[in-house]
Structure 1
């Protein structure tokens, strides 16, 4: 059995961050990089499947420059077997749909039994990559999974997902399939110091678009959006502090409500 887990190294902004001069990005000095929180749960889900079955291989895949290596090494330290990083200068600024197209080519090359994605990333919060990846691959998919059981004998996955009102939907999916994993499905493990050192001896392959039979035009065609500008949220006039007795405060609130409703 083989499980592929797409992961992302996400931007974590400092409290005091600055935008680029052209207003389309953030000053790199204001950014720290870390493995996406949702992806830590999908990696853990894959590792638990590997521990439950003999011969299961866990492969982590990321689209990114050298900054992504740290996140991949963290996954290898936790127990993943191999890592693949895809990068080309033409991927700079690629949106979720373009990234999904690139990941699809990498996943096709691996021919996994399961693809486990995080529901979303903490920086873009689009929640689109996993769903778009399933569409490119033509795989059945279930989103926002919070429980997973795999039956190797029948090559099926039984999953649960929470619906509105506290309802739980139970689905059985024939594999290969793609699942997007919700936070809280498990408790992600921490890597030991020894495992962190040994991770650098595990395979980490760097692949260009050409090796996946892709070019910049194919990626651009798959894209759905581009960043036009970033800006700080405009600040309002601030809060109005109301002093006095409870009756005075209640009276003033009533006046404000009437003014807003009439104006």
Structure 2
């Protein structure tokens, strides 16, 4: 029995940053990299099932360059025996549809019983990976999951999912399925020092597009409807704290209103 968990290393923007020369993303020199928060919860959900049932394997998989292996090591420090990293130069700036196509091939290769995906990533927030992967595989899908009752081998899983207005929906889904996991479903564990040391020795399989039977042309076709036109920092307004007595504050407010009228 196997649970596959796609995870992502995200870039966190510094307070002061610059864009790349092409104007389509932040210059990597101004990014700090860390594990996506939602993926911590999806991985923890998989680990809890693994610990409750004998013979369950949890495998983290990521799509990213060499330094993205760090996110796999962070996962393996908490539990799991191996990870998978997929990369090819053609994946540089790949959109969600291309990433979904890659992950679908990994699922076909690994044949897991379930796939747990974070609801979204905090850097891009597309929230497309889970539903897109389910569509590519032809598997059932349930989103924003806050509770899971499932034992490996069961044909169905009972789920709780978060709705608007504080409502919670209970439903069942046929397995195998793709579940997108919401924050708060559990409390992600911290990796022990021993776990961190052991994770350095655990195998990470490196796959290229050709290993998965894909090419750059396949990705281009999959992501043809998605491209970043430009990225920019919008103009920001300004604020002023008006101090003084009520009369002084009123006088200053009148000055500001007259200044704005003159500018218009």
The count of residues paired between Structure 1 and Structure 2 equals 257
Decide whether aligned partners of structure 1 residues 153 and 39 sit closer, same or farther in structure 2, where only a CA change above 3 A counts.
Answer: closer
Please report how far the alpha carbon of residue 52 of structure 1 lies from its aligned counterpart in structure 2 after TM superposition: 0.7
- 1:235 corresponds in structure 2 to 236
Alignment root-mean-square deviation, CA:
2.1
- 2:113 corresponds in structure 1 to 113
Rounded to whole Å, the distance in 2 between the matches of 1:151 and 1:29 is: 44
Decide whether aligned partners of structure 1 residues 135 and 153 sit closer, same or farther in structure 2, where only a CA change above 3 A counts.
Answer: closer
Rounded to whole Å, the distance in 1 between the matches of 2:192 and 2:81 is: 16
- 2:227 corresponds in structure 1 to 226
Paired residue secondary structure (2:180): strand
Deviates more, 1:45-54 or 1:28-37: 28-37
- Deviation per residue, 1:171-224 (Å, 9 max, x gap): 111110000000111111111111111112212000000111111111111113
Rounded to whole Å, the distance in 2 between the matches of 1:250 and 1:173 is: 62
Rounded to whole Å, the distance in 1 between the matches of 2:108 and 2:12 is: 31
Rounded to whole Å, the distance in 2 between the matches of 1:43 and 1:247 is: 59
Please report how far the alpha carbon of residue 25 of structure 1 lies from its aligned counterpart in structure 2 after TM superposition: 2.1
- 1:96 corresponds in structure 2 to 96
Paired residue secondary structure (1:125): coil
- 1:79 corresponds in structure 2 to 79
Decide whether aligned partners of structure 1 residues 48 and 244 sit closer, same or farther in structure 2, where only a CA change above 3 A counts.
Answer: same
Query: Is 2:200 aligned against 1:207?
Result: no
Note if contact 2:53-2:151 (Cα within 8 Å) is conserved in structure 1: no
Note if contact 1:146-1:183 (Cα within 8 Å) is conserved in structure 2: yes
- 1:33 corresponds in structure 2 to 33
TM-score if structure 2 supplies the norm length? Answer: 0.91
Deviates more, 1:25-34 or 1:52-61: 25-34
Please report how far the alpha carbon of residue 240 of structure 1 lies from its aligned counterpart in structure 2 after TM superposition: 4.5
Decide whether aligned partners of structure 1 residues 246 and 197 sit closer, same or farther in structure 2, where only a CA change above 3 A counts.
Answer: same
Please report how far the alpha carbon of residue 83 of structure 1 lies from its aligned counterpart in structure 2 after TM superposition: 0.6
Please report how far the alpha carbon of residue 155 of structure 1 lies from its aligned counterpart in structure 2 after TM superposition: 2.7
Rounded to whole Å, the distance in 2 between the matches of 1:188 and 1:44 is: 5
Note if contact 1:33-1:67 (Cα within 8 Å) is conserved in structure 2: no
Query: Is 2:183 aligned against 1:171?
Result: no
Note if contact 1:2-1:58 (Cα within 8 Å) is conserved in structure 2: yes
Please report how far the alpha carbon of residue 85 of structure 1 lies from its aligned counterpart in structure 2 after TM superposition: 0.5
